[in-house]
Structure 1
Amino acid sequence: MKKIICISSLILASACAKQSPTHQDTAEQFMSDSEMEVSKNRTKELNTLERTQIQDWIKSQDVKYYPMGMNYWVNIEGLESLPRKNNGDKVSYQYDIYDFNRTKLYQNPLGNTDVEFGHFVEMDAVEDVIRYLKKGEEAEILVPSVLAYGTYGDNKKISNDMPLIIKVKVL
Structure 2
Amino acid sequence: MKKLGLCCLVIFSIISCKSPEARRPISVKGGSYIEESVARNIKLYENEKAHFQDIMDANPDQKYEVSQNGFWYTYNTKIESDSLPKPVFGDIVHFDYDVKNINGDVLYTYAETKPDTYIMDKQDLFTGLREGLKLMKAGETATFLFPSTKAYGYYGDQNKISTNTPLICKVTIHSIIEN
Q: Could you state the TM-score of these two structures normalised by the residue count of structure 2?
A: 0.66
Greater helix proportion: 1
Paired residues of 2:71 and 2:145 also in contact (CA < 8 A): yes
Q: CA RMSD in A?
A: 2.5
Matches for 1:100-115 after TM superposition, within 5 Å: 100-107=102-109, 108-110=111-113, 112-113=116-117, 115=118
* Alignment partner of 1:154 out of 157, 160, 163: 157
Pick closer, same or farther for the CA change 1:45–1:101 going to 2, 3 Å: closer
Correspondence for 2:58: 60
Q: Residue 154 of structure 2: SS of its match in structure 1?
A: helix
Paired residues of 1:120 and 1:127 also in contact (CA < 8 A): no
Greater strand proportion: 2
Q: Residue 52 of structure 1: SS of its match in structure 2?
A: helix
**In structure 2, how many angstroms separate the alpha carbons of the residues matched to 1:169 and 1:76?**
10
Paired residues of 1:153 and 1:161 also in contact (CA < 8 A): yes
Q: Does 1:49 align with 2:50?
A: no
**In structure 2, how many angstroms separate the alpha carbons of the residues matched to 1:95 and 1:154?**
16
**In structure 2, how many angstroms separate the alpha carbons of the residues matched to 1:85 and 1:135?**
9
Q: Residue 107 of structure 2: SS of its match in structure 1?
A: coil
**Structure with the greater alpha carbon radius of gyration:** 2
Correspondence for 1:73: 72
Runs of 4+ in structure 1 over 4 Å off: none
**In structure 2, how many angstroms separate the alpha carbons of the residues matched to 1:36 and 1:98?**
31
Correspondence for 1:117: 120
Paired residues of 2:86 and 2:138 also in contact (CA < 8 A): no
How big is the shift at 1:118?
Answer: 1.5
Is there any run of 5+ residues in structure 1 with no aligned partner, and where?
A: 1-31
Higher relative contact order (CA 8 A, sep 6+): 2
Identity score, percent: 31
Paired residues of 1:141 and 1:167 also in contact (CA < 8 A): yes
